[in-house]
């Protein structure tokens, strides 16, 4: 019955240990055999999640403990995937808010906590990583309480229970001076403080769909929480779509969770989280209802995207060489498919049939989509990210981010100086053992291209995190990239002899032996203007040798840009060409004369 079910989500800032805690809960609840080989961060199933060590998609699982069935949802920690968190909160009755015992509340902690408090959820605070050097759990509890007050929590929400834990070591305790060897105190706290779902098994069926996936064997599957009634495999139900249209059909498969595995169920009752197959047109936010009484459930609104970029059919001289899917129809179909599962994404057609405007929550959100597409064999070009402006009460407004920077004291002045022209306003500053925490409110435009500069200025020792803060009046122009670029003059293969002559002019992005084409960007110029160069010129061979001019050529290693760095780096008249094998930078107009014409027009 619903009384034995507990639905919880684990929310936190990135890297505070959500997925590691889920691992420990799975191990201690007897889901795995004693001799079973278990991978670390077992919930991060996607290749990109494993490589980057971050959660991108929310995942469901369930464990049985002391007569209770606990449904757990592991959520992403990056602000760019906030849409995943927002829709998941609709199907849980409480959240475990994880906070690092050293870092304290971070930007995404604020974001996910605000969403859960607004829904009336009463969180359980878990102070994680108490075994970390420099941990300060008591101070962090005070910081969490201040954050609850700042976000206008009710008195009931302010009376939050606290558990101290080390997910990595697999123990939890209610008081810091207690001894504990396992997570039993956390399980007890869930049993005591998480209310069973408010659901009526005898009412007509209502189930809200909060995530969509695709299974090779049974097709499109929808996961969600049953708010009322019962659901049976094989029965006929109605699907109420978001536009009010009702589709009737039969549930071909009903799946529940046992640990990490999906298992077939004959039926399920209100309060449980299940997966349903049999409807090809089901979307997020739609409701499965009783066939004779189809009534929709209200759906939580998802925040709008703040950043957009153009996805363009690749038109470079190398188009079609490395990719399998290259036409506008292929790209359009793939983007429409992504729309069905990625709730924070928007795709619009433009006046050019080869260009699609794609909007998302941030650079990481869009770059993960591009990375997935290139791994699937797609080839495309993408433009510089641009923020989405809005008209609010007759005033032009732009998105702002809440930026938190942890930086050693010696680099603090440089960082503050660099953020000034980017229109950042400092709102707080704290000192923590030689590291200063600086908090800013900054236009989202000001963050584009800042990360690479920041890592260089702090010698890789700084840490920056940011989350969406809100819309505010336009702050005026922000200076862009200071340096020009080195542009290849003609098609050919790069030669070490040519590159050796060019490396004094700036920083190279390509090694010798790489094919280039006219208009391709091969490096950063040391000055402000663009420079057209010949990277394919070989040395003329003669019979004469000179001791000075025939020294061995020594090249500085090139700076190879990742996809995110390339998107941050490019200017408005440039594109990133993305293929399954390569990431290249290029000018929009490859011909030098064309570029001059367009420069004159724009002036």
Residues making up the annotated binding site for GTP are 15-20, 128-131
Nearest by Cα to 573 from 310, 392, 234: 310
Contacts of 149 (CB under 8 A, 6+ apart): 158
Task: State both tokens at 403.
Answer: 């930026």
- Could you give the angle at which helices 18-28 and 184-193 cross, rounded to 10 degrees? 100
498, 499, 503, 509: CA torsion to nearest 10: 150
> Is 169:129 a contact under the CB 8 Å cutoff?
no
> Is 437:408 a contact under the CB 8 Å cutoff?
no
Task: State both tokens at 550.
Answer: 């025939």
- Binding region: 15-20, 128-131
**How far apart, in whole angstroms, are the C-alpha atoms of residue 18 and residue 182?**
17
> Is 95:77 a contact under the CB 8 Å cutoff?
no
- Strands 5-12 and 68-74, by their bridges, are parallel
DSSP 276-312: EES-TT--TT-EEEETTB--PPP-PPPPPP-EEEEEE
**How far apart, in whole angstroms, are the C-alpha atoms of residue 16 and residue 168?**
11
Nearest by Cα to 53 from 85, 86, 18, 101: 18
**How far apart, in whole angstroms, are the C-alpha atoms of residue 145 and residue 125?**
10
Give whole-number Cα distances, 467 to 121, 237, 309, 363, 443, in Å: 21, 40, 19, 12, 11
**How far apart, in whole angstroms, are the C-alpha atoms of residue 223 and residue 232?**
15
Kindly state the helix (H) or strand (E) to which residue 258 belongs, with its residue range.
strand 253-258
Nearest by Cα to 575 from 383, 366, 326, 318: 383
DSSP 60-72: EEEEEETTEEEEE
Which is it for the CA torsion 227, 230, 232, 237, positive or negative?
negative
Give whole-number Cα distances, 205 to 230, 278, 444, 572, in Å: 6, 17, 43, 52
Owner of token pair 């007509």: 204
- Strands 485-488 and 531-533, by their bridges, are parallel
Task: State both tokens at 55.
Answer: 């959660």
For the chain, the residue count is 603
Kindly state the helix (H) or strand (E) to which residue 373 belongs, with its residue range.
helix 363-375
Beta strands in 474-580, from DSSP E residues, in sequence order: 485-488, 492-493, 506-508, 515-516, 520-525, 531-533, 574-578
- Strands 162-166 and 124-128, by their bridges, are parallel
**How far apart, in whole angstroms, are the C-alpha atoms of residue 10 and residue 183?**
15
């Amino acid at each position: 019955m619903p009384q034995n079910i507990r639905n919880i989500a684990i929310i936190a800032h990135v890297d505070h240990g959500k997925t590691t805690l889920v691992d420990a809960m799975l191990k201690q609840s007897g889901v795995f055999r004693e001799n079973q080989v278990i991978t670390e961060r077992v919930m991060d199933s996607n290749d990109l999640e494993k490589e980057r060590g971050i959660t991108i998609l929310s995942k469901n699982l369930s464990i049985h403990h002391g007569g209770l069935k606990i449904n757990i949802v592991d959520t992403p920690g990056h602000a760019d995937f906030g849409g995943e968190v927002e829709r998941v909160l609709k199907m849980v009755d409480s959240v475990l808010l994880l906070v690092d015992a050293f870092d304290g509340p971070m930007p995404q902690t604020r974001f996910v906590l605000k969403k859960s408090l607004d829904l009336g959820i009463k969180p359980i605070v878990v102070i994680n990583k108490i075994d970390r050097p420099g941990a300060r759990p008591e101070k962090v509890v005070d910081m969490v309480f201040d954050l609850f007050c700042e976000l206008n929590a009710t008195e009931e929400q302010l009376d939050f229970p606290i558990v101290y834990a080390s997910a990595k070591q697999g123990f939890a305790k209610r008081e810091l001076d207690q001894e504990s060897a396992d997570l039993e105190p956390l399980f007890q706290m869930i049993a005591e403080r998480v209310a069973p779902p408010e659901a009526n098994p005898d009412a007509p069926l209502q189930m809200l769909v909060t995530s969509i996936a695709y299974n090779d064997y049974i097709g499109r599957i929808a996961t969600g929480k049953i708010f009322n009634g019962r659901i049976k495999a094989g029965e006929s139900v109605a699907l109420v779509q978001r536009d009010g249209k009702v589709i009737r059909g039969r549930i071909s498969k009903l799946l529940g969770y046992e640990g990490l595995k999906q298992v077939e169920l004959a039926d399920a009752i209100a309060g449980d989280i299940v997966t349903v197959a049999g409807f090809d047109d089901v979307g997020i936010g739609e409701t499965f209802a009783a066939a004779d009484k189809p009534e929709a459930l209200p759906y939580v609104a998802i925040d709008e995207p703040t950043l957009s970029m153009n996805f363009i059919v690749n038109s470079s001289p190398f188009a079609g060489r490395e990719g399998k899917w290259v036409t506008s129809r292929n790209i359009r179909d793939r983007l429409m498919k992504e729309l069905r599962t990625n709730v924070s994404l928007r795709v619009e057609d433009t006046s050019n049939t080869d260009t699609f405007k794609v909007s998302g929550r941030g650079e990481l959100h869009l770059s993960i989509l591009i990375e997935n597409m290139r791994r699937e064999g797609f080839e495309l070009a993408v433009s510089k990210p641009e923020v989405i402006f809005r008209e609010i009460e007759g005033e032009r407004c732009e998105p702002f981010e809440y930026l938190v920077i942890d930086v050693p004291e010696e680099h603090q002045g440089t960082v503050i100086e660099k953020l000034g022209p980017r229109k950042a306003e400092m709102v707080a500053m704290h000192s923590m053992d030689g590291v200063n925490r600086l908090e800013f409110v900054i236009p989202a435009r000001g963050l584009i291209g800042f990360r690479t500069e920041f890592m260089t200025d702090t010698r890789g020792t700084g840490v920056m995190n940011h989350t969406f803060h809100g819309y505010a009046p336009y702050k005026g122009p922000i200076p862009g990239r200071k340096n020009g670029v080195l542009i290849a003059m003609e098609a050919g293969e790069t030669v070490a002899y040519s590159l050796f002559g060019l490396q004094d002019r700036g920083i190279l992005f390509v090694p010798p032996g790489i094919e280039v084409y006219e208009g391709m960007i091969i490096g950063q110029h040391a000055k402000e203007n663009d420079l057209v160069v010949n990277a394919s010129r070989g040395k003329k061979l003669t019979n004469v040798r000179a001791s000075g001019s025939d020294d061995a050529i020594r090249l500085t290693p090139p700076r190879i840009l990742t996809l995110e760095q390339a998107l941050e780096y490019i200017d408005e008249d440039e594109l990133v060409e993305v293929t399954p094998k390569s990431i290249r930078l290029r000018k929009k107009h490859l011909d030098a004369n064309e570029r001059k014409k367009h420069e004159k027009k724009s002036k």
